[in-house]
Amino acid sequence: MPEGNGLVSIGSHSSVEETVRRLQAAFAAKGLQVFAVVDHSGEAEKVGLKMRPTKVVIFGSPKAGTPLMVAAPTLAIDLPLKVLIAEDAEGKVSVTYNSPEYLQHRHGVPAELMKNLAGAGTVIAKAVE
């Protein structure tokens, strides 16, 4: 089992909004589809609650994901992939996602299919540098 809780977290020098825009552009450039952006803090505000800026971008590729789910059907609970963009109390923005190794171990994904998951972290890191 991979160390820790399976989460990878990196800092972003941009706001939550700008980080989301950069991620969406990076995913599009790599041919990945953005299925949804969940605005947790925006939804909280609608019901009168306060929450630091927090969004989740749900993204992926049916071409890459389908063979993974065929080989390891429970992986469908974690696909499409998700990336959390959140601002902490000090105003620092972080980007968090599940490590491919964690997903491989959790669902028993065959090693030969891991290339279908491994590139997402690189795209995310480049988008927020």
**Average pLDDT of 20-38?**
97
Question: Quick one: pLDDT at residue 118?
Answer: 86
For the stretch 76-125, pLDDT in tens is 999 999 999 999 999 999 999 999 999 999 999 999 998 888 889 999 99
Whole-number Cα distances in Å, 68 to 71, 96, 119: 5, 22, 14
Instruction: Residue 90: give its domain's CATH number.
Output: 3.30.310.70
Question: Quick one: pLDDT at residue 3?
Answer: 58
User: What's the structural domain count of the chain?
Assistant: 1
Question: Quick one: pLDDT at residue 1?
Answer: 46
For β-strands 7-12 and 54-60, DSSP reports them as unpaired
The answer to whether residue 2 sits within a structural domain is no
Residue numbers of the domain that contains 89: 7-128
The answer to whether residue 53 sits within a structural domain is yes
The answer to whether residue 1 sits within a structural domain is no
Percentage of residues in the chain having pLDDT higher than 70: 98
